[in-house]
Amino acid sequence: MRTILYILQKEFIQVFRDKTMLPIIFVVPIVQLLILSYTATFEIKNIDLVVVDHDKSVVSAKIISKFSGSAFFNFKGVVDSYEEGENSLRNDYADQVVVIEPGFERNLQVEKQARIQVVTNAINGSAASLMSAYSISIIADFNREIIVDAFPLANIELPIRTQPNFWYNPELNYMTFMVPGILVLLVTIIGMFLSGMNLVKEKEIGTIEQINVTPIKKYQFIAGKLLPFWVIANIDLAIGLLMAYLVFRIPVVGSLPLLFGVASVYLVAILSIGLFISTMTNTIQQSMFISWFFLVVFILMSGLFTPIESMPDWAQDLNYINPVAYFIKINRMIMLKGSGFADFARDFYLLLIYAVSVLSFAIFRYKKRI
Amino acid sequence: MKDDDHIIVVENLVKKFGSFVANDNLNFFVRRGEIFGFLGANGAGKTTAIKILSGLSKPSSGKASVAGFDVGRQSEKVKRNIGYMSQRFSLYDDMTVKENFRFYGGIYGLSAKGIKQKTAHLLQKLDMLDYKDMLLSKIPLGWKQKLAFSVAVMHDPAVVFLDEPTGGVDPITRRQFWELIYEKASEGTTIFVTTHYMDEAEYCERVSIMSEGRIEALDTPSNLKKKYNVNTMDEVFVRIARSDA
């Protein structure tokens, strides 16, 4: 036990003496949280819109004003021909083109039926469906107004009325959803990279050879490499939670000790992955590359940006070995829903087994012999 | 000569890397308290042998024991009883002199008080007490090597392995370094040292000379010079290293 204390003392001295370490530990997570939380948004705003108005009537002007008055649209102007509209889509001047047919007003009044075409750039499929949903709802609004104007006494109440109720995030604020996930992301990056780089650095400068001829036990050495970054990552989580509260007004609904308890187990898993990789590599370059590879896969599959439920079955199964997915899920449950331990006990136990296994692999894989 | 006086015993030691034979059937012993020079050209297999003896590497076949423990099966016990210093950086550049002593003293199980006393004693001998709070990175190489030696013997090991300890060190500092070695040997510590400086070979009680994985000669420096009928160890070395080349 005394040996571990001496190892820890050495590691802490080295970590905090490194001039680049303090900014990495404290500034990087804050910047990440601020930038990612504001930019990783799924809301579609500022849709660049061009209208092809073949009709040039009072009604078409009314429709155009509906679009240009909407907060979702960035109205770029009216053009005269369909070709011009298509061109603006092609050269990315517009995201969406609304085409009003010739004789629109007349058709509406005489035929009681008129047509509008909506063309959307669908390179990003989910953005496109949102964009077209926005325009359709604007047109639907307009439809209703026409009916009310034409039949002022008609009862246009629909027989089934839906009253949506959004729980846990009533304002549908995407930041509320993103911030808990991004918090997981930043402690993961700090933990996995710093621990892995630290061990492999001793290989690069050659001091590991001196360590290997001492009677240090393997688990003592790994513990010495793990604990400092475990503490640092927990501090980063605390800073992140404080920022989430102060900047984004996202409080932790559930229990804070419970959150840190899960984080502690999660961090053992993540740090051990970093250490495991570094026991198998000889240079910081190799270790960083492999860590990045796993991290990118872990993050993309974690449900941070896209719901796990909509992934194919094999991907969902693969997430059993994705520690990031476990913690993002649990962190969102605790922070937003105020879930208690019983609500995610199964995930927690899987995470615990995971942490213990990877830690054992790392200790086993670290060889004091060449 | 009693057998328990032999602190290092090597019998039929072979180390292969694939089809390459780095150590080809080595047989020798080192006496307790002896300064044993382990010479050979680059690539002769010295470092491989020293790594096996210090428990860093497993022999392919044959046996070796250090301080009474088998290097293959009891490597961790071997490690408890040896000191090791290589030409490569063995101390931490980003820690002070005192912190390096404290760390290595600590992992060899010295008490806090023991560490303090040893550090003060060893630094005083090096006349470096004033530098105890200086970062290693600020200290010149020759001094670093002396510090590394002091750290390697801090826990009073039975054997100290020195792998080219004076590489790149100026002649005056080298002489001071060898004074440290003599002093430690006089306390009964066995010194196992590799070097490329033949004047240093003269300081050893016995030397072995390796070539292409085999030990070609093993005797006292004066006997070797007599045997090859030359005046310096330099010439002995060239004869042996060249004869195979």
The beta-carbon neighbor of B95 closest among A13, A209, A212 is A13
Distances (CA, A) of A227 to A7, A195, A233: 10, 9, 10
pLDDT at A148: 78
The beta-carbon neighbor of A215 closest among B56, B76, B102 is B76
Mean pLDDT of the A319-347 span: 94
Contact A10 B90 (CB under 8 A): no
The beta-carbon neighbor of B107 closest among A7, A13, A205 is A7
Which chain A positions have a beta carbon within 8 Å of B55's beta carbon?
213, 369
Which chain B positions have a beta carbon within 8 Å of A206's beta carbon?
86, 88-90
Contact B79 A209 (CB under 8 A): no
Q: What are the average pLDDT values for consecutive 10-residue runs of chain B, which has 245 residues?
A: 78 94 94 94 90 93 95 93 86 95 95 95 94 94 92 95 90 93 94 92 94 92 93 90 62
Beta strands in B18-166 (DSSP E): 20-31, 35-40, 61-66, 69-70, 82-86, 159-163
B139 Cβ contact partners less than 8 Å away, ≥ 6 residues apart: B97, B131, B147
CB proximity B138 to A under 8 Å: no
CATH number corresponding to B3-81+157-243: 3.40.50.300
Residue B24: how many other CB atoms lie within 10 Å:
15
pLDDT exceeds 90 at position A152: no
Chains A, B: CB contacts within 8 A come to: 75
What one-character DSSP code corresponds to residue B137?
G
Separation of alpha carbons B145 and A175, rounded Å: 57
Instruction: Return phi, psi of residue A195, to 5°.
Output: -65, -45
| Residue A72 distance to chain B (closest CA, Å) | 56
| Residue A207 distance to chain B (closest CA, Å) | 5
Contact A370 B51 (CB under 8 A): yes
Q: Which residue has the tokens 């093993």?
A: B218
CB proximity B134 to A under 8 Å: no
A119 Cβ contact partners less than 8 Å away, ≥ 6 residues apart: A85, A86, A89, A96, A97, A98, A99
ipTM of the complex, rounded to two decimals: 0.89
Mean pLDDT of the A330-354 span: 94
Contact A17 B94 (CB under 8 A): yes
Q: Which residue has the tokens 């840190």?
A: A260
Q: A229-278 pLDDT, tens per residue?
A: 999 999 999 999 999 999 888 889 999 999 999 999 999 999 999 999 99
What one-character DSSP code corresponds to residue B129?
G
Tell me if A183 sits within 8 A of A237, measured CB to CB: yes
Contact A3 B91 (CB under 8 A): no
pLDDT at A156: 61
Q: How confident is the model at residue A162 (pLDDT cuts 50, 70, 90)?
A: confident
Cα–Cα nearest to A191, from A265, A275, A271: A271
CB proximity B82 to A under 8 Å: yes
pLDDT at B2: 47
pLDDT at A154: 64
Separation of alpha carbons A351 and B170, rounded Å: 57
Question: Reduced to 3 states, what is the DSSP secondary structure of residue A91?
Answer: coil
pLDDT exceeds 70 at position A158: no
pLDDT exceeds 80 at position A311: yes
Separation of alpha carbons A316 and A326, rounded Å: 12
CB proximity B121 to A under 8 Å: no
Contact A215 B86 (CB under 8 A): no
Mean pLDDT of the A71-100 span: 91
pLDDT at A157: 64
CA-based end-to-end distance of chain A: 26
Which chain A positions have a beta carbon within 8 Å of B80's beta carbon?
215
| Residue B119 distance to chain A (closest CA, Å) | 15
pLDDT exceeds 50 at position A58: yes
Domain spans of chain B, in order of start: 3-81+157-243, 91-156
Percent share of chain A, pLDDT over 70 = 97
The beta-carbon neighbor of B108 closest among A17, A207, A214 is A214
pLDDT exceeds 90 at position A137: no
Q: Which residue has the tokens 């990279």?
A: A193
Chain centroid to CA A332: 12
Q: Which CATH topology does A47-150 take? A: abc type-2 transporter like fold (3.40.1710)
Residue A41: how many other CB atoms lie within 10 Å:
12
Tell me if B60 sits within 8 A of B20, measured CB to CB: no
Q: Which residue has the tokens 């053992």?
A: A268
Residue of chain A whose Cα is closest to the Cα of B148: A210
